[in-house]
């Protein structure tokens, strides 16, 4: 019988800094093809940038993680942002990665939209965003200190499967599918400074922030905003949200215009996360059996005890892997010229369908123009082992089978799975069996079928090597 229970922990140096990055209230906002507006009409909740700095207890390696309340960025916008932070904060480009909460209510901040209503505000906003991130990166670097991260797991049924077969119309709709289960894992963490002061909490959950849709005209972080507020009110410390592999996952109640529903969704996730956080033990301890106590029955007494020196040292082991996973680009991908012709055709029509289809073609054109030369897409990947946990940060929008497969393969190790990192050039990565079915995520996938499976295998092998 086991004599103790260990809670996975990481010892490292840690810092977090966050700030307001809300755009002007009348900036270009249209994110949905079905929307009738172009400019935002106000602010639901402020948007946030959170810069987290992770570093080993000893050594010069580091990883800056820039979490942004935006949907995505194109390659040009991402390159501009990271180049500015590289120069303005004197941080090596290799040490920087951005990840998105993926809210669809923040506005689509593409420089190619400058000629649309409110689009003239995009470039100045992106410049201001870079300035703010530089300030936060400097603040994080100044506040770097020894810390212990303690990990836990909760459950939340906010997310639902969203590949829905519409039998009547004989098509796939991207919406709530009550007949298929969804990953409900909430990976949480508490970050404690030496001495026990709470520095931050972490919530890693897979669910598209698509509560607010075409009927919403307000800038909003969607459910992550109320989630953070609820957790921060309860803990008094900043909360970092990282979007999981949610390619086919969205809120049960979504695609609405009512901000209160977004807030309700956020509170639902927050309470699930708080429950898991409340169950975490004190950093640097394990739950150990201390022996029998004779009472009305012979009782077994368990107490929290300090970790032995060997376990304490193991929690500080740091191994950082950064590389690109080269994935074949999908055969038959149209050329930019072909899409421009189709876009012009749709723009010549004055119907709601034409407005929506024009939006699809504009987005496809942007993705095509940011593809690298050649036949492969170099997908950015980071795998970081800190003591008893693994952090995985990946470019692209993956189906949740990515995280469920890896967590089943490594059940004893908490896996922080952060996706929608870097620029959106990779688009969706659905399972190979969905290719050719006409599902939205598959229809706009840039990489060829099998890309998701290649990433799972590549990352899985790297995790296995790091755990040896």
Tell me how far apart the alpha carbons of residues 166 and 386 are, in angstroms, rounded to a whole number. 45
Tell me how far apart the alpha carbons of residues 379 and 69 are, in angstroms, rounded to a whole number. 22
Q: What secondary structure letter does DSSP report for 286?
A: E
Residue 264, C-beta contacts closer than 8 angstroms, at least 6 positions apart: 226
Same domain as 139, residue 277: yes
Position 291 in a domain? no
Position 198 in a domain? yes
Same domain as 105, residue 248: yes
| Domain carrying residue 200 | 4-283+314-322+380-467
Tell me how far apart the alpha carbons of residues 346 and 368 are, in angstroms, rounded to a whole number. 18
Same domain as 365, residue 253: no
Residue 84, C-beta contacts closer than 8 angstroms, at least 6 positions apart: 130, 131, 133, 134
Residue 52, C-beta contacts closer than 8 angstroms, at least 6 positions apart: 14, 15, 16, 64, 65, 67, 140, 200, 240
Other residues' Cβ atoms within 10 Å of the Cβ of residue 336: 14
Residue 189 near residue 402 (C-beta atoms within 8 A): no
Same domain as 156, residue 92: yes
Same domain as 119, residue 50: yes
Position 217 in a domain? yes
Same domain as 392, residue 250: yes
DSSP 56-80: -SSSS--EEEEEESSS---HHHHHH
Residue 158 near residue 207 (C-beta atoms within 8 A): yes
Dihedral over alpha carbons 423, 427, 432, 434 (to 10 degrees): 160
Position 274 in a domain? yes
Tell me how far apart the alpha carbons of residues 429 and 442 are, in angstroms, rounded to a whole number. 8
Strand 63-68 with 163-166, pairing: unpaired
Position 107 in a domain? yes
pLDDT tens per residue across all 468 residues of the chain: 889 999 999 999 999 999 999 999 999 999 998 999 999 999 999 999 999 999 999 999 999 999 999 999 999 999 999 999 999 999 999 999 999 999 999 999 999 999 999 999 999 999 999 999 999 999 999 999 999 999 999 999 999 999 999 999 999 999 999 999 999 999 999 999 999 999 999 999 999 999 999 999 999 999 999 999 999 999 999 999 999 999 999 999 999 999 999 999 999 999 999 999 999 999 999 999 999 999 999 999 999 999 999 999 999 999 999 999 999 998 877 777 777 787 777 878 888 787 777 777 777 777 777 778 889 999 999 999 999 999 999 999 999 999 999 999 999 999 999 999 999 988 999 999 999 999 999 988 999 999 999 999 999 999 999 998
Q: What is the pLDDT of residue 335?
A: 74
Q: What is the pLDDT of residue 276?
A: 98
Question: If we measure between CA atoms, which residue out of 158, 50, 49, 161 comes closest to residue 106?
Answer: 49
Same domain as 364, residue 393: no
Residue 319 near residue 384 (C-beta atoms within 8 A): yes
Question: If we measure between CA atoms, which residue out of 69, 80, 66 comes closest to residue 111?
Answer: 80
Cα of first residue to Cα of last residue in the chain, in angstroms, is: 25
Other residues' Cβ atoms within 10 Å of the Cβ of residue 41: 12
Same domain as 337, residue 273: no
Beta-strand runs (E) in 209-297: 218-219, 239-243, 249-251, 285-294
Same domain as 396, residue 342: no
Burial class for 52, CB neighbours closer than 10 Å (0-12, 13-18, 19+): buried
Task: Work out the angle at residue 410's Cα, subtended by the Cα atoms of residues 286 and 2, and round it to the nearest 5 degrees.
Answer: 35
Position 299 in a domain? no
Question: If we measure between CA atoms, which residue out of 136, 124, 361, 94 comes closest to residue 240?
Answer: 136
Beta bridge partners of 163: 174
Same domain as 459, residue 347: no
Position 288 in a domain? no
Tell me how far apart the alpha carbons of residues 394 and 378 are, in angstroms, rounded to a whole number. 11
Tell me how far apart the alpha carbons of residues 273 and 282 are, in angstroms, rounded to a whole number. 17
Residue 128, C-beta contacts closer than 8 angstroms, at least 6 positions apart: 21
Same domain as 395, residue 348: no
Position 265 in a domain? yes
Same domain as 218, residue 196: yes
Q: What is the pLDDT of residue 374?
A: 84
Question: If we measure between CA atoms, which residue out of 25, 33, 44 comes closest to residue 125?
Answer: 25
Task: Report how many domains make up the chain.
Answer: 2
């Amino acid at each position: 019988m086991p004599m103790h229970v260990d809670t996975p922990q990481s010892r490292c140096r840690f810092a977090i800094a966050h700030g307001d990055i809300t755009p002007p209230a009348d900036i270009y906002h249209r994110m949905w093809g079905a929307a009738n507006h172009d400019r935002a009409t106000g602010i639901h909740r402020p948007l946030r940038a959170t810069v987290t700095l992770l570093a080993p207890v000893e050594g010069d390696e580091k990883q800056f993680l820039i979490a942004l309340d935006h949907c995505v960025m194109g390659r040009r916008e991402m390159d501009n942002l990271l180049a500015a932070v590289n120069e303005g904060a004197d941080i090596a480009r290799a040490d920087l990665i951005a990840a998105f909460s993926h809210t669809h209510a923040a506005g689509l901040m593409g420089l190619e939209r400058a000629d649309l209503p409110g689009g003239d505000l995009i470039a100045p906003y992106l410049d201001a965003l870079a300035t703010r991130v530089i300030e936060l990166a400097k603040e994080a670097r100044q506040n770097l200190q020894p810390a212990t991260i303690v990990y836990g797991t909760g459950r939340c049924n906010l997310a639902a499967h969203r590949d829905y077969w519409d039998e009547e119309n004989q098509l796939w709709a991207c919406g709530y599918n009550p007949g298929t289960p969804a990953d409900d894992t909430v990976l949480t963490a508490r970050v404690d400074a030496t001495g026990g002061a709470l520095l931050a909490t972490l919530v890693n959950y897979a669910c598209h922030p698509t509560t607010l849709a075409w009927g919403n005209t307000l800038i909003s972080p969607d459910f992550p905003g109320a989630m953070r507020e609820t957790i921060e009110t309860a803990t008094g410390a900043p909360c970092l949200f990282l979007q999981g592999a949610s390619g086919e996952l969205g809120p049960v109640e979504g695609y609405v215009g009512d901000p209160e529903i977004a807030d309700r969704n956020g509170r639902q996730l927050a309470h699930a996360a708080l429950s898991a956080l409340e169950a975490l033990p004190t950093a640097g301890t394990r739950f150990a059996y201390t022996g029998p106590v004779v009472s009305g029955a012979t009782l077994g007494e368990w107490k929290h005890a300090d970790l032995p020196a060997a376990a304490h040292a193991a929690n500080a082991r740091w191994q950082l892997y950064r590389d690109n996973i080269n994935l074949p680009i999908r055969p038959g991908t149209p050329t930019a010229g072909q899409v421009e012709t189709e876009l012009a055709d749709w723009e010549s029509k004055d119907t709601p369908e034409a407005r929506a289809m024009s939006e699809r073609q504009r987005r496809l054109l942007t993705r095509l123009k940011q593809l690298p030369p050649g036949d492969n897409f170099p997908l950015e990947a980071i795998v970081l082992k800190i003591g008893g946990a693994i952090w995985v940060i990946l470019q692209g929008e993956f189906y949740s089978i990515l995280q469920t497969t890896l967590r089943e393969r490594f059940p004893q190790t908490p896996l922080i799975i952060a996706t929608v990192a870097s620029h959106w050039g990779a688009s969706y990565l659905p399972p190979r069996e969905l290719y050719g079915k006409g599902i939205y995520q598959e229809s706009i996938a840039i990489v060829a079928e099998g890309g998701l499976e290649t990433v799972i295998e590549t990352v899985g092998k790297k995790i296995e090597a790091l755990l040896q």
